[in-house]
């Protein structure tokens, strides 16, 4: 039976030769469109990064921006679910951020571990009364905690409702015109809020949201809630994610910000105008991509009202986050990211190619269609069909080798250029040896990691079709384990 399979497959493919050729060219075309997108993003990202670098020398001084009454107060909202290992150190770090006026609101979203008790014991918290107005919906609040020792810290204990629900509770209890959404497993650099809030100070009427850079903390030394020594992870999975984060933030998001087509601000670090978030009804329930959904909601709402607004990505502020170190947890993360991207795209699909929504409709949505909707399916089909076509004699060896070399070479080129951008302007990788390691990772990731990552995205597609909800397991080791 096995001996008959290849002839039968060949006969089937010959019978459907036209459709197979159409599918083949579709795979090649989508791949070329993705490549063209990356090649356009690179110089755009460089121009935007240069603008930010020059602005630090020529624009209004930090002293003027942080003077009394200039820097708007910020509520730092920290949704926490089963974050016992990291929550106290993370909050201590947030309380020492260099910013004129902040409040830290930790929302314990029905944790099943010792998150609540760790906060109470770590900061000597007691139940308090706090007046608030319920403007957006969220699950029931079981208690509010505070301490005279930490007057800028508020802890909200509520029934579990998910990350979006926890953020909404924080918005209701916040008292500042801006709020920053952070993660309990993340560490902000001391001046991160100053850098990220700068666009709001310079253009308070138009700027409605700002995002900052996320970096991998695995491999770094952490003391007293601060990254004291930058290093690379020793394990392969967080190491390859380090390369991914550099590529995503220093290329894609910078370019989209310059094009006025920014559709996502990371849930680990983003600042929003509270009044605008309330106007759109806060963060949406029933989605795993709440960070994407809130941005699309704001774009839709303000565009339909024909209001002048902008969203920006700022590369200087850095938020350090713990990257998954196991295949199981990384798979959960990547399938969830794909589900979130698809939920956002199809929920707002009427914005695609609609000039009413500006560059979000005419640039961002077509790019999302290519990279998020078609991208993973087409790439996985390419992995399967291109070699099959060669084995069946439908492709020449020269074409197969040339196509494979082109795909891998462009992948390495994009990653290397992202590292060059990083080194030219930000210099966040302190040692030449680390740069060489990352270049090596940029090569190695194309042989196995990239393929399995795209397969996980296809799994995310299947989960989206089945309407799966939930985040999956995301265990944390804690910052004390993050050593060089």
Element (H, E) at 141: strand 141-146
Q: What is the pLDDT of residue 302?
A: 97
Share of the chain above pLDDT 90, in %: 53
- The mean of the pLDDT values for the chain is 87
Q: What is the pLDDT of residue 483?
A: 42
Q: How far apart are CA 149 and CA 283, in angstroms?
A: 32
| Residue 119, both tokens | 């906060």
CB 353 within 8 A of CB 366: yes
**Number of Cβ within a 10 Å radius of residue 313:** 27
The better pLDDT of the pair 409, 430 is held by 409
Q: Of 200-204, 313-317, 427-431, which gets the smallest average pLDDT? A: 427-431
The SS3 assignment for 102 reads strand
The SS3 assignment for 473 reads coil
CB 103 within 8 A of CB 176: yes
Residues in the chain: 484
Average pLDDT on 416-425 reads 80
Q: How far apart are CA 287 and CA 164, in angstroms?
A: 8
Average pLDDT on 284-302 reads 93
Contacts of 18 (CB under 8 A, 6+ apart): none
- For 72-112, the pLDDT digits (tens) are 999 999 999 999 988 998 898 899 998 989 999 999 999 99
Q: How far apart are CA 300 and CA 356, in angstroms?
A: 9
DSSP string, 380-428: HHHHHHHHHHHHTTSS-HHHHHHHHHHHHHHHHHHHHHHHHHIIIII--
The SS3 assignment for 112 reads coil
Contacts of 198 (CB under 8 A, 6+ apart): 65, 314
Name the nearest CA neighbour of 337 among 376, 288, 377, 298.
288
Q: What is the pLDDT of residue 75?
A: 97
Would you say residue 53 has pLDDT above 70?
Answer: no
Q: What is the pLDDT of residue 468?
A: 80
Burial 104-134 (b: 16+ CB within 10 A, else e): bbbbbbbbeeebbebbbeebebeeeeeeeee
DSSP string, 339-372: HHHHHHHHHTGGGTT-GGGHHIIIIIHHHHIIII
Q: Of 62-71, 80-89, 234-243, 320-329, which gets the smallest average pLDDT? A: 62-71
Q: What angle do CA 72, 77, 83 make, to 5 degrees?
A: 150
- For 175-232, the pLDDT digits (tens) are 999 999 988 878 888 888 988 998 999 899 999 999 998 999 999 998 877 888 889 9
Q: What is the pLDDT of residue 69?
A: 64
Q: How far apart are CA 184 and CA 1, in angstroms?
A: 56
- For each of the domains in the chain, give its residue range(s) and CATH number, in order of start: 73-329 (3.90.550.10)
Give Dmax over CA atoms of the chain in angstroms. Answer: 81
What does the DSSP 8-state code read for residue 324?
Answer: P
């Amino acid at each position: 039976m096995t001996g008959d399979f290849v002839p039968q497959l060949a006969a089937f493919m010959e019978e459907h030769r036209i459709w197979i050729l159409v599918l083949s060219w579709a795979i090649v075309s989508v791949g070329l469109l993705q490549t063209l997108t990356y090649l356009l993003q690179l110089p755009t990202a460089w121009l935007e990064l240069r603008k930010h670098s020059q602005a630090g020398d020529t624009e209004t001084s930090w002293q003027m921006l942080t003077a009394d009454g200039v820097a708007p107060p910020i509520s730092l909202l920290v949704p926490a679910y089963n974050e016992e290992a990291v929550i106290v150190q993370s909050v201590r770090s947030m309380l020492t951020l260099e910013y004129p006026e902040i409040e830290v609101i930790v929302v314990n979203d029905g944790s099943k571990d010792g998150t609540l008790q760790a906060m109470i014991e770590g900061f000597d918290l007691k139940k308090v009364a706090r007046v608030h107005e319920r403007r957006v919906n969220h699950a029931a609040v079981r208690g509010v905690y505070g301490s005279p020792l930490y007057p800028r810290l508020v802890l909200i204990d509520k029934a579990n409702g998910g990350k979006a629900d926890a953020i909404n509770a924080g918005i209701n209890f916040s008292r500042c015109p801006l709020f920053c959404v952070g993660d309990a497993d993340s560490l902000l650099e001391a001046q991160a809020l100053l850098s990220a809030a700068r666009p709001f100070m310079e253009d308070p009427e138009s700027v409605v949201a700002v995002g900052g850079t996320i970096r991998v903390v695995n491999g770094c030394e952490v003391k007293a809630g601060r990254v004291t020594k930058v290093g690379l992870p020793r394990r392969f999975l967080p190491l390859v994610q380090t390369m991914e984060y550099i590529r995503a933030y220093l290329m894609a998001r910078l370019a989209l910000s310059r094009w006025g087509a920014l559709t996502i601000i990371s849930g680990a670090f983003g600042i929003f105008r509270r009044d605008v978030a309330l106007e759109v009804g806060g963060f949406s329930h029933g989605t795993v991509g709440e960070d994407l959904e809130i941005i699309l909601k704001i774009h839709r709402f303000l565009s339909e009202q024909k209001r002048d607004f902008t969203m920006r990505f700022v590369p200087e502020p850095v938020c350090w986050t713990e990257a998954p170190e196991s295949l199981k947890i990384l798979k959960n993360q990547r399938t969830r990211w794909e589900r979130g991207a698809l939920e956002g795209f199809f929920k707002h699909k009427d914005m695609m190619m609609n000039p009413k929504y500006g560059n979000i409709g005419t640039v961002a949505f077509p790019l999302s269609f290519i990279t998020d909707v078609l991208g993973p399916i087409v790439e996985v089909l390419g992995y399967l069909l291109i070699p099959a076509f060669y084995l069946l004699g439908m492709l020449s060896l020269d074409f197969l080798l040339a196509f494979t070399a082109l795909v891998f070479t462009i992948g390495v080129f994009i990653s290397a250029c992202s590292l060059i951008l990083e080194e030219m302007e930000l210099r966040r990788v302190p040692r030449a040896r680390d740069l060489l390691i990352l270049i090596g990772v940029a090569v190695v990731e194309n042989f196995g990691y990239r393929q399995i990552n795209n397969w996980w995205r296809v799994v995310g597609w299947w989960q989206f079709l089945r309407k799966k909800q939930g985040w999956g397991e995301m265990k944390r080791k804690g910052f004390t384990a993050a050593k060089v």
